[in-house]
């Protein structure tokens, strides 16, 4: 799946999983799931998916790609914190 070790690839890969998580929770489940009673759960699941991806990348020695995933995860959580907590 990952044949290169670059930060740019990590940034893209790290952005795909939160978008996928948002799509699943917003469009497929459509607030019908019990888990949707907690509004922060989709964001935590998106971060968990990114952390699992980062762990896999570190295990297969793709350090630069893992750095990109980590940067995307931190940026994503910062945006969530700013918009969900402060507004």
Q: What is the pLDDT of residues 3-54, one digit of tens each?
A: 688 899 999 999 998 888 888 877 766 656 565 566 677 788 888 999 999 9
> Which residue in 8, 17, 27 sits closest to 76, CA to CA?
17
> Which residue in 54, 60, 73, 50 sits closest to 3, CA to CA?
60
Q: Where are the domains of the chain?
A: 7-85
Residue 63 CA to residue 77 CA, distance in Å, equals: 21
Residue 13 CA to residue 18 CA, distance in Å, equals: 10
27-44 burial: b if 16+ Cβ within 10 Å, else e: eeeeeeeeeeeeeeebbe
> Higher confidence at residue 28 or residue 68?
68
Q: What sign has the CA pseudo-torsion 27, 28, 30, 33?
A: negative
């Amino acid at each position: 799946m990952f044949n290169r070790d670059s930060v740019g690839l990590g940034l893209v890969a790290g952005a795909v999983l939160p978008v996928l998580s948002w799509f699943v929770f917003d469009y497929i489940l459509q607030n019908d799931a019990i888990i949707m009673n907690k509004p922060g759960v989709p964001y935590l699941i998106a971060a968990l998916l990114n952390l699992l991806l980062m762990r896999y990348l570190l295990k297969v020695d793709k350090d630069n790609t893992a750095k990109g995933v980590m940067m995307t995860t931190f940026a994503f959580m910062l945006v969530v914190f700013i918009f969900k907590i402060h507004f």
